[in-house]
Amino acid sequence: MQHKAHGKVILLGEHSVVYGHPALAGALADGVIVETTPGRGILRIPQWELVIDGDSDVALARAYGEIRKRAGEPALDLALTFNLPTGAGLGSSAAMAVAIGRALGLQGAALAEAAMASETVIHGKPSGLDHTVSIAGGFGIFTRAAGLMPLRAQPLPLVIGHTGKARDTKGRVARVAELLNERAGEVRERFAAIEALVGRGADAVARGSYGELGAAMNENQRHLEALEVSCPEIERMCAVARDAGAFGAKLTGGGGGGCVIAVGNDAAVADAWRKAGFQTFTAVVRA
Ligand code: PMV
């Protein structure tokens, strides 16, 4: 049998979300797929030529152990496929945990709890956004105080490209903290401006107005550049995407590398990124 779970993308509001402001997130449909066959709990990830059979001190095996111990003794083996780049800020580890949890029969609060435990092994101190979006699907507005509030909207086609550089969530979060010390007034104004963009963007996705969403993404990217969480590769990808007809483009997640998202004219944007040497794929945000 097949079990699936979504990845995630932050459409607007990364970094300011750390300081209590809202972020608009969306699910990347079917980011991870797990196939089960009768067995005894062996986990295979053929893309990584990895087989987890029994206890091991590898983080992934410990994360899997957290899920297994909540699910009892499985009479199944699992084969897992990632349909997303991993380690790129697209929620692949949370999707992995949710798909495995589902394959082992977990649901509801038990599934969420197992996914959070797995994410804690992999990330240390996760906010919980990734696994929450992975389970819920669709769009949502996330705040640290209230968690995820679902938002009704039509499926949103997105193009995602990778800078080829690892994202630097930790370093960039630290730089924003420094800037907040050095130039508090300016940084707080930018956070407030980004919060307004999250509101505009949420309204735009609810109405299916991708032009307005794209405009909000472009403005958000300018604030992220001023907050020093962008990098030349991200800015080049944004320029290439806009030249190819994207309504908007911006970094997603921690920045400093990692992925760029664009909305509008996806085939032309994907083609332009590929020609410029960036890895790219198209995805649909939906429930
Ligand atoms: O790079 P990711 O997908 O882990 O996203 C980081 C998002 C930040 O807002 C920069 C940090 C956070 O914890 O929310």
217-255 pLDDT tens trace: 999 999 999 999 999 999 999 999 999 999 999 999 999
Mean pLDDT of 120-138: 90
Q: Which active-site residues does the annotation give?
A: 130
| pTM beyond 0.85 | yes
State yes or no: pLDDT of 287 exceeds 70: no
How far is CA 79 from each of CA 33, 54, 99, rounded to the nearest angstrom? 8, 15, 11
Q: Which atom of ligand 1 is nearest to the CA of 258?
A: 1
Mean pLDDT of 191-214: 97
Nearest CA to ligand 1 atom 3: 89
Determine whether the shortest distance from the Cβ of 16 to ligand 1 is under 6 A. Answer: no
Determine whether the shortest distance from the Cβ of 14 to ligand 1 is under 6 A. Answer: yes
pLDDT band for position 57 (50/70/90)?
confident
Mutational pocket test of ligand 1: of 173, 251, 260, the residue with most ligand atoms within 8 Å of the beta carbon: 173
Contacts of 277 (CB under 8 A, 6+ apart): 164
**pLDDT score recorded for residue 125:** 78
Going from the Cα of 130 to the center of ligand 1, the distance in angstroms, rounded, reads 10
Mutational pocket test of ligand 1: of 14, 86, 141, 191, the residue with most ligand atoms within 8 Å of the beta carbon: 14
Determine whether the shortest distance from the Cβ of 102 to ligand 1 is under 6 A. Answer: no
State yes or no: pLDDT of 70 exceeds 80: yes
Q: Which atom of ligand 1 is nearest to the CA of 123?
A: 4
Distance of alpha carbon 127 from alpha carbon 96, whole angstroms: 17
**SS3 label, residue 138:** coil
Q: Which two tokens stand for residue 3?
A: 């079990």
pLDDT band for position 126 (50/70/90)?
confident
Q: What percent of the chain has pLDDT over 70?
A: 100
**pLDDT score recorded for residue 241:** 98
How far is CA 256 from each of CA 105, 228, 232, 269, rounded to the nearest angstrom? 38, 8, 9, 21
Q: Which atom of ligand 1 is nearest to the CA of 255?
A: 1
Nearest CA to ligand 1 atom 5: 253
Mean pLDDT of 197-219: 97
Write down the number of H helices and E strands in the chain: 9, 11
Mean pLDDT of 87-93: 91
State yes or no: pLDDT of 286 exceeds 80: no
How far is CA 76 from each of CA 6, 101, 104, 115, rounded to the nearest angstrom? 22, 12, 8, 19
**What does the radius of gyration of the chain's CA atoms come to, in whole angstroms?**
19
